[in-house]
Amino acid sequence: MSLRNIAIIAHVDHGKTTLVDEMLKQSGVYRENERVQERAMDSGDIEKERGITILAKATSVDWKGNRINIVDTPGHADFGGEVERILSMVDSAIVLVDAAEGPMPQTKFVVGKALKVGLRPIVAINKIDRPDARVDEVINEVFDLFAALDATDEQLDFPILYGSGRNGWMSTGPDRPEDGGTLAPLFDLVLEHVPEPTVEEGPFRMIGTILEANPFLGRIITGRIYSGTVKANQQVKVLHGDGSLVETGRISKILSFRGLERVALDEAHAGDIVAIAGLSKGTVADTFCDPSVTEALTAQPIDPPTVTMSFMVNDSPLAGTEGDKVTSRVIRDRLLKEAEGNVALKIEESSAKDSFYVSGRGELQLAVLIETMRREGFELAVSRPRVVMHKDENGKLLEPIEEVVIDVDEEHSGIVVQKMAERKAEMTELRPSGGNRQRLVFHAPTRGLIGYQSELLTDTRGTAVMNRLFHEYQPYKGDIAGRTNGVLLSNMSGEAVAYAMFNLESRGPMIIEPGDKVYMGMIIGIHTRDNDLEVNVLKAKQLNNIRAAGKDEAIKLTTPIRMTLDRSLSWIQDDELMEVTPKSIRLRKRFLDATDRKRQGKSGANAA
């Protein structure tokens, strides 16, 4: 049986996981009476809720006596570290492009990485049944993108398929076949266009690319075997990239991917993608090899993180009331465990032993980590995201710049250009994108984009779509104006009272509900002015015999603003923290006592 290894790469929401669903169905992976789950490869709860792929996953299908290993990859730029590693495992990639949106920032990112490692991709124009599809223009844009990324002549001569992943058909022409069509043209093209895995001479060697924990088997490492054969119970050793020894041990299980199942093998051969269990320390980018091997394989370099946050022990008055994992030791162990499998994350201990600096690709990546930890029972406080600055050889400060693509209705383009200019962004392109919409392309500092997503949706009545991608480091652009509103702070601890909230509504919108627990220094609302204001949200109505019966029923509160985890992260300022527990998300000042805040403010002013 011959092998093919392919990855499916595309921008977020261009239909990768849905296409894999159909490939699994049409290749006979499922029984006829088997209930099939939509987006079967998105196995995590957060992946299902957000509708995005976060972790790369492998599967395989059999087609005409050949086995095709397929790796489904994330489409969001924050999880690009997953894609960079995966490309070293495969021999080609299917580049999926939306027939209406065309190549987007993440398409550019993943295609650039694929071309750099020498892959010859297949281009599939997906969703051509959309009413706003513009197939010919999109193909030209894809060709221009390949040319701009310095593709070779062989890479520029890419085969093109047209179809709809959701409806389960692909064709060599833009029209749907009369019989409805299937994915057979895609499978056949993969067998014809993708080379069989190149096998190197020598004993067993494999680079780890995906790490996961299993309650029964322990650490499971997935990777592609570069050379040799591996057998169950074989003695192996693990080498770091610099050739130093990590550990030696025995492989307890070799697992191969068969559809959504994993099948235990007695032995696996070079070229195949398998998962191995039994080793306790080996991780991503390490070389797993025969004891006779002395040199490690070279892993793909990973782009550096651009955003950092402080993860701290929760020290609020409500600490420990909702979560059971609250100490710095358990938080540290959990963060280090996350960094092992996620090479795009970097963890550093701060000088204060109860806080840690966590650096990643973007706010979404860090928000997903926080959400995962709170569901596991952790309580912690996190700071506002800050960008990671660099210095050049002359000591000049450099900051990360992102390429931002905003698709927006024409009537709202003016306010978007104005707001982006305030954030020190430079417009590089403006063109129509079909359907009375415009595509605006900017180069903007990462600092200015923190918190802009929700403001953009408000300005454009929810019609704008923003996509971001790290571009390069450039000289520091100067100060950028931050949040213009102050906050309403509770000056007492207790439970919020509806009567008090009703009387405070003229001061600004609330972000808490009646009956919520509050404490001194906790943020309960957004002030209409630019200063912070301490208020009493516990004040109940005086009970006397002068008032008329039934008056309390007249209190009708305005619906409070719901501060989600993502929104809170980008909204808070440098002197504020987000308290995260399994049940609640609360916003607070870093120093809860008003006197401490004033003292800190004065010392900060003196230092400045």
Domain containing residue 515: CATH number? 2.40.50.250
CATH number at residue 224: 2.40.30.10
Asked whether residue 354 is domain-assigned, the answer is no
Q: Which residues pair with 250 in a beta bridge?
A: 235
Cα-to-chain-centroid distance, residue 124: 24
E strand or H helix that includes residue 364: helix 363-375
| Residues 265 and 143 occupy one common structural domain | no
Spatial CA neighbour of 61 closest among 53, 71, 51: 71
Report the distance separating Cα 12 and Cα 270, nearest Å.
32
| Residues 74 and 162 occupy one common structural domain | yes
What per-residue confidence (pLDDT) applies to 607?
Answer: 47
| Cβ atoms within 10 Å, residue 601 | 12
| Residues 72 and 187 occupy one common structural domain | yes
Q: What's the structural domain count of the chain? A: 4
C-beta of residue 601 within 8 angstroms of C-beta of residue 591: no
Asked whether residue 187 is domain-assigned, the answer is yes
For helices 184-193 and 16-26, what crossing angle results, to 10°? Answer: 100
Report the distance separating Cα 447 and Cα 482, nearest Å.
10
Asked whether residue 366 is domain-assigned, the answer is no
Task: Report which residue type is found at 525.
Answer: G
Report the distance separating Cα 197 and Cα 106, nearest Å.
26
198 known ligand binder: no
| Residues 55 and 189 occupy one common structural domain | yes
Report the distance separating Cα 580 and Cα 378, nearest Å.
8
| Residues 34 and 181 occupy one common structural domain | yes
* SS3 label, residue 214: strand
485 known ligand binder: no
241 known ligand binder: no
Report the distance separating Cα 580 and Cα 569, nearest Å.
11
Q: Name the residue range of residue 98's domain.
A: 3-193
| Residues 239 and 101 occupy one common structural domain | no
Report the distance separating Cα 301 and Cα 298, nearest Å.
9
| End position of a domain, from candidates 289, 315, 350 | 289
Q: What is the largest CA-CA distance in the chain?
A: 95
What per-residue confidence (pLDDT) applies to 134?
Answer: 87
| Residues 189 and 47 occupy one common structural domain | yes
As averages over each run of 10 residues, the pLDDT of the chain (608 residues) reads 87 81 77 50 60 71 89 71 78 92 84 88 92 90 91 92 91 86 91 90 89 82 91 91 88 86 88 90 87 86 82 91 90 87 82 85 85 92 90 88 89 91 91 81 89 82 83 87 85 91 91 92 93 90 63 73 86 91 93 86 54
16 known ligand binder: yes
14 known ligand binder: yes
269 known ligand binder: no
Instruction: Provide φ and ψ at 193, rounded to 5°.
Output: -90, -35
CATH number at residue 427: 3.30.70.240
| Residues 188 and 209 occupy one common structural domain | no
Residues 6+ apart with CB under 8 A from 465: 406, 407, 408
Task: Report which residue type is found at 577.
Answer: L
Report the distance separating Cα 589 and Cα 466, nearest Å.
30
Which residue has 């962004």 as its token pair? 425
What per-residue confidence (pLDDT) applies to 116?
Answer: 87
| Residues 280 and 185 occupy one common structural domain | no
Asked whether residue 174 is domain-assigned, the answer is yes
72 known ligand binder: no
Residues 6+ apart with CB under 8 A from 183: 22, 23, 26, 163, 168, 169, 170
| Residues 274 and 415 occupy one common structural domain | no
18 known ligand binder: yes
Asked whether residue 435 is domain-assigned, the answer is yes
Asked whether residue 403 is domain-assigned, the answer is yes
| Residues 210 and 189 occupy one common structural domain | no
Which residue has 């963890």 as its token pair? 347
CATH number at residue 143: 3.40.50.300
Asked whether residue 368 is domain-assigned, the answer is no
| End position of a domain, from candidates 193, 214, 240 | 193
13 known ligand binder: yes
What per-residue confidence (pLDDT) applies to 44?
Answer: 61
How many Å is the Cα radius of gyration of the chain?
27
| End position of a domain, from candidates 173, 193, 213 | 193
Q: Whats the size of the chain, residue-wise?
A: 608
116 known ligand binder: no
What per-residue confidence (pLDDT) applies to 81?
Answer: 65
Which residue has 């509050």 as its token pair? 518
| Residues 457 and 542 occupy one common structural domain | no
Spatial CA neighbour of 270 closest among 199, 213, 328: 199
C-beta of residue 590 within 8 angstroms of C-beta of residue 579: no
